[in-house]
Every structure is written in structure tokens, then in C-alpha cells.
Chains A and B, each alone.
Chain A
Amino acid sequence: MKSVDIISTLRSLPAPEPDAGRMRRTLRLCRAEYRARRPLRRVGAWELMRRQLRFTILPVWALQGALLLFICLALGAARPAEELIPASASLAAELAALTALPFHSRARRYGMEEVEAAARLSRAKLTLARLGAAAVGDAVCVAAAALLSGGGWYVTLVFVATPFLLTTAVSLAALSRAGGVYSAICLGALMALGYYAAAASWSFDMLRISPLLAAGICLAAIAAIAVEMYAEIRGNGMEKRLGYEY
């Protein structure tokens, strides 16, 4: 049967006309219910960041600021001795990766996770705000290390970007899978020292690594970081952290 036929058949069937009074009563009740509802005040991203600033963002930025000062001093002092620059730049980048670590998953460590998860503002937004703030600080520190190292794009790739991304990926993975912030800092520190030692001894050899390989390592590290960040934002593993075993 065609739609047109169905419609015309339905229209021809006897049916009561809508009662205008009933319609008005329904509208009145709907409006009253709507007015009686609890108004949900809009909280924008800017307000969220501003209210979180004092509690969670400023401490991270304070530590990253101190690191930035240190980077400027160290790389400035290393300038006359060119052989020290690659190692110093890589260590600065690795320290940048480690400074935000103690602030990751603080809620988990201090038992605030449940209460924060039950609060109005979604956990994902909150985590994103915190990660974003830490990322801004990291970006400034890494940019400073790159600029002050005075090398070209390839020196920056090998001695700044790669160690930063590798250390971040390894320490974030350790944070979620290997027992928390202590393990993450240990692993990150050992990685940082290893890379520093390599940069100090074999900086010329490292610069002979194929740019494709270096870029590939960076991309792999970025992918690993993205996976960890996504899991952190989604709150994966919450059940395990609350003590439930599968």
C-alpha cells in the first residue's frame, strides 16, 4: 500500500478532536514542571580552567617554571662548550617530561577519585583541563630547550623531541601499569640518564641516525602517549583501582 493511501485512510478514520482545554492544561503542567526543575548553570571551559587554576594548575606551572629557569641557566652555561649542548638539551627535555608526573593521577593516590567522579563536572573535562595545562608547560620548556640548544631541526628532533617523547611515553605507561608514580619516576629517571649518557658520548653518531627512523620513533611515542592520555581521560581501570578484581 502506498504512503499516500495509508495517510488518506488514517485521515478518514473516526477519531476524537483534540480537546483544546486539555491541551492548555498539559501545556500549563509542562511549563510548571519546567520552571520547577533545578536549573543547570552552564560552566564553560574558561571557568573550569580558572577555578582549577589555584588548586591543580598553578603547582604544575610553578614546578615547570623552575625547570624553565634551570634550562635557561644550564643551556646558557653550556653554550661555550659545544660538546655539552646535545646532552644538556636532552636532559632538559627529559626533566620536562618528568616534572608533570607527580601531578598525574593525584586524585587516585589521595583517594579523591570517587568524590570527583560523582561531582557534576565530568571527569573527562577535568582530566583534559589538567592534562592540557601540564602540556602547555611542557611545550614551553621543550621549546626553550630547543631554542637554546641552537641546533637545526634535526638536532632538535634527536636531542630534544625524541628524549622528551620517549621519556613521557615510558613514564605514563609505568604510571598506569607498573605501580604508580614512584615506578614512573624511577623508569623515567633511568631513561633520562641513559639518553643523557648516550648523548654525551655519541652525539655525532646519534646525528647519523636516519631522520625517518628518528621521526618514526617520535610518532610511535606520540601514539603511545595518546593511548595513555585517552585511557586517563576515559577513567579506564577505575574498577580495578576501587578494588574490584575480575
Chain B
Amino acid sequence: MYKLEMKRLLKTRSTRILMAVALLVTLIFWCINVFDAYYYSNDGKSYHGLDAMQMRRIVAESAEGEWTPERLRDVFTQVAEVNANYGAAADGAAADYTLTFMRSLLQVCDVQYVNEITPEMAAQYYTLRKARIEEATTLNYGPAAAEAALKLDENMAEPFYYEFGFGTGSDTASTLPVSLFAVAIVCSIICAPVFASDYSTGADDIQRCTRCGCKRLGKAKLLAAMTLSTALYFVCAAVFVALTLAVYGDDKTSAQLALDALVLIDIDMNGVLVLMLIAGLLSVLAMTAFTLWLSARMRSSVAVLAIALAVAIAPTFLVILLRDSALGDWLRLLLPGGGLGLGTGMIVDIQVGKFLTLGPVAIWTPFAALAVPALEAPAFALLARRAYVRHEGA
């Protein structure tokens, strides 16, 4: 039964076209990631695409390794000397040298320009960082969240490590989530008519009266749709990641340097990539299961599609409408597609150090972004099966 349903899904022309579209979108975003890179050297030359990447790799070589407090002090002593001798040129030189974690330093030291950072401030980076975490989290989420943040940060391995890779050499952190989001949308589009179209044509009335019965049939349809979505996700993610690793290699840079000082767990960019992929898979499964549940409840594939798409893009709009509000975060993360979105998702949650608070309990949002879809996927799948079994023709 399951094989027949898979065959039926794969034989549908629109399914094949949509799968090809998902793969194409993945490839397009990977290409944009690589070929939209620019590098402008101090001598006025500009580099593009893979050449730009090579230049960045060369420039970043001198910054690779562990960034101990002593190294930071030495670097900024040199920056101060260059600044004293050459003035405004210092910013450019410092930018080249510390191009990976400029934002992190500026944020932690609470300054706007590099030349405001003294060697002593630079040496205090790790201490200042912890103070910054406590201050920002208390201000935004309260003392319970600050305590939870510091507890998470306790296991941080210092000093942080930097090497050139996909994390800092490319826009993978922004393009991968978008292409995974496109896969989630395509999966919803494929799954929307799984039950609903048979209801509207009346074919379901015949199918559920066959020997297999509606329970087995419902289970087979669900499994087939979920398998297809999982397979599509794996293929698209694998293509993106494989091409990225082939061009850039892996990246053991500490996420605190590549992304944001407020990253609260001891993780490098390889780990961030894995987390993004896991969160993406769970979100895709949750979205698929949700769409299948809608399909099992409604007769119109168009209505199912409209609602599924609305739910998929809702996190994107919640981020705009309810920016910096707890309600926005709660709603976003409770939605099936909460781990993916445009301008939102796991990567943003890791970067920004957000918490969901309920009284004395504070949960770091990436944990919620993993846990909620992991619970929702099987829940919606079961609801979908139940709705299909209980469906009665009009």
C-alpha cells in the first residue's frame, strides 16, 4: 500500500516539477552565495565570486588560530600605533585583520568604531562578554533568563578559535535557511492535495471501501507524503552542504566570532550548520504533518494550500509585526514552521540569545525551535490520520 502511494505521488507530474523547482532554488541560492561575493582590497582592486573568496582566505590567514586575551591586546596595541601614525587608515587595517569578529568586539566593548577599542578593553573581551550577556538578557528577558543564559555560557570553551571557512567566508548562514524554507514550502504544496483532492473528486468514497480500508490507506498516504518530504529535504540540504564544503571546506570557527557574541553554547560553525539542518528537518516534518492534517480535514486543496502557506510565512511576519516582543517569539515558535523562515529561524535564534520566559522558567529559543516541531510533527501526523479515518463524505 505504502509503495503504491509513493508511486502515485512520484508519478504525478506536478510533484516531479515541484521537486525539480526545490532543487533548482537550492542550487540558485548556493550560486548566489558563492558568486555574489565581493572583495575590495586596500589598493583599490575589486574581486568577485571565487576570486573574492580566495582573497578573503589569504587575508584571513593571519587571523587564524586561538584568540587569547594576550593576542587581542597585542593586536589592538598595533592598531593603536597605526592609528597614531596613520589616522583613519587604521580602521581599514584593523578591519582586514580582525574581519571575522569585528561586530562581536564592537558589541562587547559597546563602541561604534574600532579605534575606540583600547588594548586593555580588547584584553578584557571574555570578561566583558559575560557582563554583556548578563546585562542584555536581564534587560530584555528578566533575571531568570539572565541566570539561564549564564548557566549555558558556563561550559563555554575559551579562548575562541577562528579559521577561514563557510561561516565567515560566505553568506551560508543567510542563504541556507532561505533555500530550506523554499523546500518546506514546496513540501506543503505537494502534500496539500494528498487527502483533499480525493474528497473533492469523490475518489475517496470508493478507496475507503476497498479491502485495505481507510486506516491502512490513511497510514500509507501519510507515510508516503512524509517520506517524500524527508527525502526531498535531504537531497536539497545535501546538495547545498556538499557544494559549500567542497568550495570552502568545513569551519571550526567559534560561533561567537562568526555570528554574534551572544551565542550562548560552546559551538563552532560546523555545529551551527548541523543545528540548522536538524531544525530545518524538524520544521519541514512539522509543516508537512500540519498540511496533511489540514488536507484530511478539508475538501478544497486550494484552501488547504492557502492556510498552509499562511502558517509557513507567519513567522516571517510575526518578526516584523511583533518585533522584540515575547508574544511574537511565543507565537512564532509554536507554529509548525517556527524553525524556518525569511529573516527568522534557528540561525537567528542562535545569534541573538532570545529566551521564552514563563514566570521563573526561561528557555533558550533554539531549544524551543528544536523541541516544538519535534513534538508537533508526530502530533499532527496522528491528528491527520484520525481526521482521515473519521471523515465522512458529504
Binding site for B on A (CB under 8 A): 70, 73-74, 77-78, 81, 84, 87-88, 91, 102, 179, 181-183, 185-186, 189-190, 193-194, 196-197, 200-202
Query: Contact between B323 and A102 (Cβ–Cβ < 8 Å)?
Result: no
Residues of A with C-beta under 8 A to B305: 182, 185-186
Query: Contact between A190 and B182 (Cβ–Cβ < 8 Å)?
Result: yes
Contact A77 to B323, CB < 8 A, known contacts A182-B193, A190-B185: yes
Residues of B with C-beta under 8 A to A186: 14, 18, 189, 305
Q: Which residues 9-25 in B have Cβ within 8 Å of A in the complex?
A: 14, 18, 21, 25
The 10 closest A-B pairs by CB, nearest first: A77-B321, A186-B189, A197-B178, A78-B320, A189-B309, A77-B320, A74-B320, A181-B302, A182-B301, A182-B302
Query: Which single member of B181, B306, B323 contacts A193 (CB below 8 Å)?
Result: B181
Query: Contact between A193 and B185 (Cβ–Cβ < 8 Å)?
Result: yes
Query: Contact between B181 and A84 (Cβ–Cβ < 8 Å)?
Result: no
Return A76 CB to nearest CB of chain B, in Å.
9
Residues of A with C-beta under 8 A to B309: 185, 189
Query: Contact between B320 and A88 (Cβ–Cβ < 8 Å)?
Result: yes
4 more contacts with CB within 8 A, not counting A91-B316, A189-B185, A196-B342, are A74-B320, A194-B25, A197-B342, A200-B343
Listed by A's residue number, 23 A-B pairs whose Cβ atoms lie within 8 Å are: A74-B320, A77-B320, A182-B192, A182-B193, A185-B305, A185-B309, A186-B14, A186-B18, A189-B185, A189-B189, A189-B309, A190-B21, A190-B182, A190-B185, A193-B181, A193-B313, A194-B25, A196-B342, A197-B178, A197-B342, A200-B342, A201-B175, A201-B178
Query: Contact between A102 and B302 (Cβ–Cβ < 8 Å)?
Result: yes
Asked if B234 is at the interface (CB within 8 A of a chain A CB), the reply is no
Return B377 CB to nearest CB of chain A, in Å.
22
Per-residue interface assignment for chain B, residues 121 to 149, with 1 indicating a CB less than 8 Å from any chain A CB and 0 otherwise: 00000000000000000000000000000
Asked if B317 is at the interface (CB within 8 A of a chain A CB), the reply is yes
Return A141 CB to nearest CB of chain B, in Å.
16
Asked if B83 is at the interface (CB within 8 A of a chain A CB), the reply is no
- Cα A10 to Cα B36 in complex, Å, equals 89
Query: Which single member of B36, B192, B301, B321 contacts A74 (CB below 8 Å)?
Result: B321
Residues of A with C-beta under 8 A to B185: 189-190, 193
Asked if B118 is at the interface (CB within 8 A of a chain A CB), the reply is no
Residues of B with C-beta under 8 A to A70: 317
Query: Which single member of B171, B306, B316 contacts A102 (CB below 8 Å)?
Result: B306
Q: Chain B interface: which size bin? A: 20 to 34
* Residue of chain B at shortest CB distance from A180: B302
- Cα A201 to Cα B317 in complex, Å, equals 16
- Cα A185 to Cα B185 in complex, Å, equals 12
Residues of B with C-beta under 8 A to A74: 317, 320-321
Asked if B174 is at the interface (CB within 8 A of a chain A CB), the reply is yes
Contact A179 to B320, CB < 8 A, known contacts A186-B305, A193-B182, A200-B343: no
Return B258 CB to nearest CB of chain A, in Å.
18
Residues of B with C-beta under 8 A to A194: 25, 182
* Residue of chain A at shortest CB distance from B328: A77
Return A178 CB to nearest CB of chain B, in Å.
9
- Cα A62 to Cα B302 in complex, Å, equals 18
Return B141 CB to nearest CB of chain A, in Å.
20
Residues of A with C-beta under 8 A to B171: 201
* Residue of chain A at shortest CB distance from B304: A182
Residues of A with C-beta under 8 A to B189: 186, 189
Residues of A with C-beta under 8 A to B313: 91, 193
- Cα A197 to Cα B174 in complex, Å, equals 10
- Cα A62 to Cα B8 in complex, Å, equals 38
* Residue of chain A at shortest CB distance from B301: A182
Return A194 CB to nearest CB of chain B, in Å.
7
* Residue of chain A at shortest CB distance from B186: A190
Query: Contact between B14 and A183 (Cβ–Cβ < 8 Å)?
Result: yes
Return A22 CB to nearest CB of chain B, in Å.
66
- Cα A200 to Cα B348 in complex, Å, equals 15
* Residue of chain A at shortest CB distance from B177: A197
Return A88 CB to nearest CB of chain B, in Å.
6
Residues of A with C-beta under 8 A to B178: 197, 201
- Cα A200 to Cα B343 in complex, Å, equals 8
* Residue of chain A at shortest CB distance from B343: A200
Query: Contact between B321 and A73 (Cβ–Cβ < 8 Å)?
Result: yes
Interface centre among B21, B25, B36, B189 (most CB of A within 10 A): B189
Contact A84 to B182, CB < 8 A, known contacts A182-B305, A185-B302, A197-B342: no
Return B45 CB to nearest CB of chain A, in Å.
20
Query: Which single member of B14, B181, B321, B342 contacts A179 (CB below 8 Å)?
Result: B14
Interface centre among B21, B186, B342 (most CB of A within 10 A): B342
* Residue of chain B at shortest CB distance from A109: B302
- Cα A88 to Cα B171 in complex, Å, equals 21
Per-residue interface assignment for chain B, residues 285 to 327, with 1 indicating a CB less than 8 Å from any chain A CB and 0 otherwise: 0000000000000000110011001000100110011110000
Residues of B with C-beta under 8 A to A185: 302, 305-306, 309
Q: Which residues 152-193 in B have Cβ within 8 Å of A in the complex?
A: 171, 174-175, 178, 181-182, 185-186, 189, 192-193
Residues of B with C-beta under 8 A to A182: 192-193, 301-302, 305
Contact A193 to B342, CB < 8 A, known contacts A81-B323, A181-B302, A186-B189: yes
Residues of A with C-beta under 8 A to B306: 102, 185
Residues of B with C-beta under 8 A to A73: 321
* Residue of chain B at shortest CB distance from A95: B313
Return A199 CB to nearest CB of chain B, in Å.
10
Return B9 CB to nearest CB of chain A, in Å.
15
- Cα A78 to Cα B343 in complex, Å, equals 13
Return B151 CB to nearest CB of chain A, in Å.
31
* Residue of chain A at shortest CB distance from B190: A186
Return B94 CB to nearest CB of chain A, in Å.
25
